[in-house]
Amino acid sequence: MAHDSDDSAGNQLPPVREALKQVIDSEAFVPRLLALLSNALVWRESMLLRGEFGLGTNDWRVLSALAVRPGITATDVSEFLVMNKAVVSKAVNVLISRNLITSTDGPRGSRNLFLTPPGVEMHNKMLPVSLAGEDILLSRLSEADVAKLRDILAKLVANISSLTAEPEETN
């Protein structure tokens, strides 16, 4: 049976046991640091939201997006949150099945999404969990540092379209 560590002839390749010389500085590489923070926040939030409300972080993100932008479509939610459309679709279906959101027919067959009154109530119950995570994250920063961080993050977020654009082919 062939393994991932086999070459094309089926011979097992030797393991590389030493660290490589050209590597990412894991203590300074910004994407890794942002991912660590995001993963920790998502893990905390997910555990609390699932335990208390039976909903996950993706469900919360969709509820939160509809609280800010009522009437947008699932595609709009996906773009607003920079989330995979399939993940948004699954969350929308969960939220509709729980009567927390509803959809109405929009132009050209689109479905506009809205919170229902129980959805508003659920949003208001879930909001403190998310805000508490932010408070924990920022607790060691001064108000001036928080303002600087928000400014820097806004500049980074402005680059999202460059990160999500189709990559150019290189020949």
Domains and CATH numbers, the chain: 56-131 (1.10.10.10)
* Residue 98: predicted pLDDT: 98
As given in the structure block, the two tokens for residue 86 are 């399939």
pLDDT digits (tens, 9 = 90+) for 135-157: 999 999 999 999 999 999 999 99
- At position 48, the amino acid (one-letter code) is L
In sequence order, the 6+-apart residues with CB closer than 8 A to the CB of 95 are: 55, 59, 62, 63, 101, 119
Give the pLDDT confidence score for residue 9 in this predicted structure.
74
CB count within 10 Å of CB 127 equals 14
What pTM value is reported for the model? 0.83
Give residue 74's identity as a one-letter amino acid code. Answer: A
Burial 80-111 (b: 16+ CB within 10 A, else e): bbebeeeebeebbebbbebebbeeeeeeeeee
Tens of pLDDT along 95-128?
A: 999 999 999 987 787 899 999 999 999 999 999 9
How far is CA 56 from its chain centroid? 11
